[in-house]
A and B are shown apart, each in its own frame.
Chain A
C-alpha cells in the first residue's frame, strides 16, 4: 500500500500533483465521477454550512438544541446496546448451534426490517394504548392491567432497536458463517471453552462486520422522524423539521442537516480508523461453512428463546397488531386501487434496489481497482445520504435536477419543443433520490464483509443483496405515497 500523504513538507505542490497523477489510474477518475454524482445532493446541502443558518438560530440554540442533542445521544447509546445484544446473540446462535426451527428463524430474523420503524412505533402504541390490544386481552382475562406507557424516550429506543437490529444480525451472521470455521477448529484443538472462544476470539474478529451493521442502524436512528414525532421525543431530525416547517426557515433546516452529515461522517471515519487497528487477516481459501453444534436440554430451549424473542418483538407482535387494524378497516382500505398502488410500489422498489446495488458495486470495485488508495475515504461521502431525512434529501436532489430541468426546457424551447419538467416529477428523480439515500444500505455490508473474503461480485451481492431488497421493499411498500417527488 502506498502512503499517499508523504510527511515531508519539502515537497512542492507541483510534486504532490505529479505524485497524485502517478498514483491514480482511470478507476480513480471513475470513482470520483460516481461519488460526485451520488454525493451531489449531499454536497448541495453541505454547502449550506457556509451560508449559515437563518435568523432564529440563536433561539434554536437556546431553547431547542440541548434537548435535541441530549435525546439523540440517548437514542444512539441505548439503541447501540440493544441492537448489539439482539443482533449479535441471534447471529451467533444460528451460526454456531442447531436447534428447533433454526432454519426458519434464520430468515425470520431479517423480517423486522420489512416494517418501517415508524409503523412498528404506531403498532406498539396501539398494543399498549388505552383500549389497545393488551388492554383488551387483559380485560377478557379479567386481570387488572397496568398500562405500560411506551410513548417516551425509552420506548422509542426499544422500538427503533427491535426494528433495526437485523442490520447487525445480517452482517454478523455473514461473518460467522463464512469466516469462523477455521478459527473455531483451531480454538477447539487448543481446548478453549465455548464462551471464551466467542468473547475472546469471534467477537473481536467480527467487530468490523458488526460495526458496519451498527453504523447503518445509527444512521437510521438519527434520521427517524415519524416515530420520534409520534412518541413526543425531540431529536436532531425532528429539529430539522421544526426549523423548516414551524419556524419557516428552510435554510436553518438544511444547516442542521449539514451538521448532521458532519457528525455521521466523523462516525464513519472513526469506525474505519477503529477497524484499521484490528490487524485483520483472513484466509481467502476457506469457504467451508461452520459446523453447527447440536444442543440438548435446557440449553436448547434457552437458545431457542434468545433467538425467538427478537422475532416475536420485532415482527410477530407488530404484524399481529397491523393485521388487527387491517381487519377493522378492511372494507375501506383494500380496494382495487390499493392493489395497483402496492404493485406499483413493488416495481419501483425492486428497480431502485437494483440500481442502488449496482452503484454500490461500482463504487466499491472502482475504488478497489483504483491505485490511489485515499480514494476510499472520498467514496464514503456517497453513503452519507442515509443519515439524512428523506424530505431533506429531496431538497438536495431538487436543487441540481431542477436546474438541469430548467436548462433542458430552455434548450428544447430553443429547438421549438415545448416541454414541462423532464426529470422532476418523474421516476428518474425518484430513482436518483433512492440511490442517493440508500447507497449506504448496499455499500456498507458489501464493503465490510464481501471484500474481506475476496468473493466475486455475484457472490457478494447474493449474500447481502437479500437484505437490501428486503430493505427496499420495506421502505416502499407503505410509504410510497409520501414520497413527494413523484405524483
Chain B
C-alpha cells in the first residue's frame, strides 16, 4: 500500500517539474566507455537474421541486443524515448518506414565509404541516413493453365476489363501494397494512381484478406487467375516444410511487370543508425556487416531475397526466375508518397 502511495506521489511530483530539456553533453565520452553492444530495433522476424546476428557476434565480440516489433511500433517507441532511446540501429522491411523515421528526426547521417560505394544509389538515402540491405520484387503470380505470360504486361494493364474478377491481392494496410501504390503515384501521378486503384478494386476476385501466400494459394484453388505478391514469398513457399505449399508454388507462373518501360517495382529491407545511438561506432560496424558478402549470402539463401551487393549471387531458386529490369525510382519517393497512397486506397475502397 505504501508503495502505491509512493508511486502516486512520484507521479505528482513529476507533473510538477516537467522541465527536462537539459541536454546530455557527455555522450561522446560515453561512447568509448560503454560495453561492446549494439541494440537493434528490427521489424525483420526471420531466422536468417538471427543467424547473421550470431555470425556478427562471433566475429566482432559485440553483443547484439534485438528488439522485435513492427516498424511503426518501433518508430513510435523511439519517438517517445527521445534522447534516452537505447536503439542503435533501426531495421525495417520497407523504405517508406525508413524515410518516415528520417523525417521524424530519428536517424542520423553516417559516413561509411563502404556502404555508399557498395549499395546502388537509388537504394540508399540521399543524406546517408539509411541503406537498403535486401531487395524484394512485387511480381504477378499467375495460373499457368489459364493465363499466358504474353497477356501480361504492366501493373497498369491489370485494370483492363479482361481481368475482371480475376485479381487477387491482399489488404491495403499491407506495406508492400502501400509502397507499390506510392511508386505508381510517383511514376504516373496522383490521378492515374486513383484510377488504377479503382480499376484493381473493380477487377478483384474477392475482398482482400490473408497474406501474400494466401493469394498464391487462391490462384491455384481457382478463386482468381493473378496474384500480386512479393517475390520472396514464392521462394519461401518453394522451400516450405508444408508439402502442399511447395506443390502450389511449383504450379505457379511468375511474371515481372513493366519490363518494357520503368521496370518492376522493388522495395528494400533497410537499416539506419538511430539519432541518439549510444553505440554509434558499433552500429555502423553492424550495418556494414549486413552488406558483407557472407551476410548477403545468408539473406538470399535463407530468405529468398535479392542481395543488394552485386558480387553476391542470388540463391538458385530465385536465379531460376531470370534477370529482370527493376524500377530505379529513388526509394525516398516511396516514403514521401506513402500517406497519399493510403488515402487513395481508402477512396477507392480497397480494404
Contacts and interface: CB of A to CB of B under 8 A. Distances in A.
Interface of A: 30, 33-34, 36-37, 40, 56, 59, 63-64, 125, 129-132, 135-136, 147, 151-152, 229-234, 238, 241-242, 244-248, 250, 325, 328-329, 332, 391, 394-395, 398-400, 402-407, 409-410, 418, 420-421, 424-425, 481-482, 484, 487
A64 B346 contact: yes
Interface of B: 1, 4-5, 7-8, 10-11, 13-14, 17-18, 20, 22, 26, 30, 39, 47, 65-70, 72-74, 76-77, 80-82, 84, 86, 100, 171-173, 178, 207-211, 214, 217-218, 220-221, 241-242, 244-245, 247-248, 338-339, 342-343, 346-347, 349, 351
A40 B12 CA distance: 12
A395 B81 contact: no
B84 A36 contact: no
A223 B80 CA distance: 23
Contacts of B247: 131
B70 A245 contact: yes
Given A63-B346, A247-B342, A482 B14 contact: no
B218 A130 contact: yes
B209 A151 contact: yes
B7 A250 contact: no
A361 B74 CA distance: 35
Contacts of B209: 151-152, 230-233
Given A37-B4, A231-B209, A487 B65 contact: yes
B47 A130 contact: no
A400 B80 contact: no
Chain A interface main SS type: helix
Given A147-B221, A407-B14, 7 more contacts: A33-B8, A131-B244, A232-B209, A238-B173, A246-B342, A395-B76, A404-B14
Given A33-B5, A152-B209, A404-B14, A487 B66 contact: yes
Contacts of A147: 221
Contacts of A398: 77, 80
B4 A34 contact: yes
Contacts of A250: 76
16 contacts: A34-B4, A63-B347, A63-B349, A131-B248, A232-B351, A247-B342, A250-B76, A398-B80, A399-B80, A403-B14, A404-B14, A407-B17, A420-B86, A421-B86, A482-B69, A484-B74
Point out which of A232, A481, A482 has the most chain B C-beta atoms below 10 A from its C-beta.
Answer: A232
A400 B349 CA distance: 38
Contacts of B339: 246-248
Closest 3 CB pairs of A and B: A232-B209, A131-B244, A130-B221
Contacts of A131: 217, 220, 242, 244-245, 247-248
Point out which of A131, A400, A403, A481 has the most chain B C-beta atoms below 10 A from its C-beta.
Answer: A131
B220 A130 contact: yes
Given A59-B343, A241-B173, A37 B7 contact: yes
Contacts of A404: 10-11, 14
Nearest to B241: A328
Chain B interface main SS type: helix
B69 A484 contact: yes
Contact of B18 (A30, A242, A248, A403): A403
Nearest to B70: A245
Contacts of A409: 84
Contacts of A395: 76, 80
Contacts of A136: 244
Contacts of B248: 130-131
A19 B228 CA distance: 68
B248 to A, nearest CB: 6
Given A248-B100, A395-B80, A484-B77, A425 B14 contact: no
A40 B11 contact: yes
A130 B249 CA distance: 13
A130 B69 contact: no
A58 to B, nearest CB: 11
A183 to B, nearest CB: 39
A410 B20 contact: yes
B82 to A, nearest CB: 8
A230 B215 CA distance: 12
Contacts of A63: 346-347, 349
B178 to A, nearest CB: 7
Nearest to A398: B80
Contacts of B342: 242, 246-247
A166 to B, nearest CB: 27
Contact of A487 (B4, B8, B67, B171): B67
Contacts of A40: 11
B166 to A, nearest CB: 17
A482 B20 CA distance: 31
Contact of B81 (A230, A232, A421, A481): A421
A242 B172 CA distance: 10
Nearest to A419: B84
B230 to A, nearest CB: 17
Contact of B72 (A125, A245, A420, A424): A245
A191 to B, nearest CB: 54
Point out which of A233, A328, A484 has the most chain B C-beta atoms below 10 A from its C-beta.
Answer: A484
Contacts of A481: 68
B325 to A, nearest CB: 29
Nearest to B84: A421
Contact of B210 (A230, A424, A425): A230
A482 to B, nearest CB: 7
B346 A406 contact: no
Nearest to A421: B84
Contacts of A229: 171, 173
